[in-house]
């Protein structure tokens, strides 16, 4: 019975890694759609978000059933409870990529990103991609050291968001209020995407150690 239980746990993790791959592809594609006014790519991100939602629903059902059947304790219980939270975080990351793609679609055929902030948005997209990639390693290998690194990496995203907000609120901003609002939303979506990756890494750390992750400065 214990062997079957742990096989099911590993199966749940495997599907979470599938979600992670989908989410990484979504944020990469959404960033490209936003920067290039690529309607076809934006529509694909929006449509593909349903697959992430469906995996989450299936995972939650399996996790709850496993908890009910096995009545786990200690580290196994921590892992199952964390699994529910991790799946929810991944689903939300998919939603945030979806929102970025919708910004691209809303402004098509125009590009939503003014020239002044193309570099900033590009850097935010790259940072999000790196963070979710490292988070995937944490999730697959239960790597507590890298889990702490994800929190530190998130500081870069926060700096990029502050830089973008300073630009759109600065005296040299020559674009519409509507454009400023679009960029404020985009920066928020990238920042929240990164926050959810940090949350997943912290949950892995807690599952493996039984302690909450310390803040890395």
- On whether the pTM is more than 0.85, the answer is yes
Q: Is residue 215 domain-resident? A: no
How many domains does the chain contain in total? 1
From first to last of its 217 residues, the chain has per-residue pLDDT tens of: 577 888 999 999 999 999 999 999 999 999 999 999 999 999 999 999 999 999 999 999 999 999 998 888 888 899 999 999 999 999 999 999 999 999 999 999 999 999 999 999 999 999 999 999 999 999 999 999 999 999 999 999 999 999 999 999 999 999 999 999 999 999 999 999 999 999 999 999 999 999 998 876 5
Q: Is residue 35 domain-resident? A: yes
Q: Is the dihedral of CA 58, 14, 197, 187 positive or negative?
A: negative
Q: Which domain holds residue 58?
A: 2-209
Give Cβ neighbours of residue 71 (< 8 Å, ≥ 6 apart).
Answer: none
Task: Report how far residue 128's alpha carbon sits from residue 202's, in angstroms, rounded to the nearest whole number.
Answer: 17
Task: Report how far residue 107's alpha carbon sits from residue 126's, in angstroms, rounded to the nearest whole number.
Answer: 22
Q: Is residue 216 domain-resident? A: no
Task: Report how far residue 208's alpha carbon sits from residue 179's, in angstroms, rounded to the nearest whole number.
Answer: 44
Give 11-55 as a DSSP string: HHHHHHHHHHHHHHHHHHHHHHHHHHT-HHHHHHHHHHHHHHHHH
- 169: CATH: 1.20.58.220
Please say whether the beta carbons of 27 and 133 come within 8 A.
no
Q: Is residue 63 domain-resident? A: yes
């Amino acid at each position: 019975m214990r062997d079957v239980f742990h096989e099911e746990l590993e199966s749940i993790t495997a599907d979470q890694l599938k979600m992670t791959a989908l989410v990484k592809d979504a944020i990469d594609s959404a960033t490209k759609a936003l920067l290039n006014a690529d309607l076809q790519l934006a529509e694909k991100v929006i449509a593909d978000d349903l697959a992430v939602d469906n995996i989450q629903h299936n995972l939650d059902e399996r996790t709850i059933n496993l908890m009910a059947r096995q009545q786990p304790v200690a580290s196994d219980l921590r892992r199952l409870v964390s699994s529910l939270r991790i799946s929810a975080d991944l689903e939300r990351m998919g939603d945030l990529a979806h929102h970025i793609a919708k910004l691209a679609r809303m402004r098509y055929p125009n590009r939503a990103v003014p020239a002044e902030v193309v570099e900033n948005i590009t850097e935010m997209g790259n940072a999000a991609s790196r963070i979710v990639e490292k988070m995937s390693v944490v999730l697959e290998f239960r790597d507590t050291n890298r889990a702490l690194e994800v929190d530190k990496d998130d500081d870069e995203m926060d700096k990029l968001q502050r830089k973008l907000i300073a630009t759109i609120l600065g005296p040299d901003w020559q674009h519409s209020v509507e454009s400023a609002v679009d960029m404020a939303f985009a920066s928020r979506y990238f920042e929240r995407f990164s926050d959810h990756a940090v949350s997943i890494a912290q949950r892995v750390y807690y599952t493996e150690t039984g302690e909450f992750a310390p803040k890395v400065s």
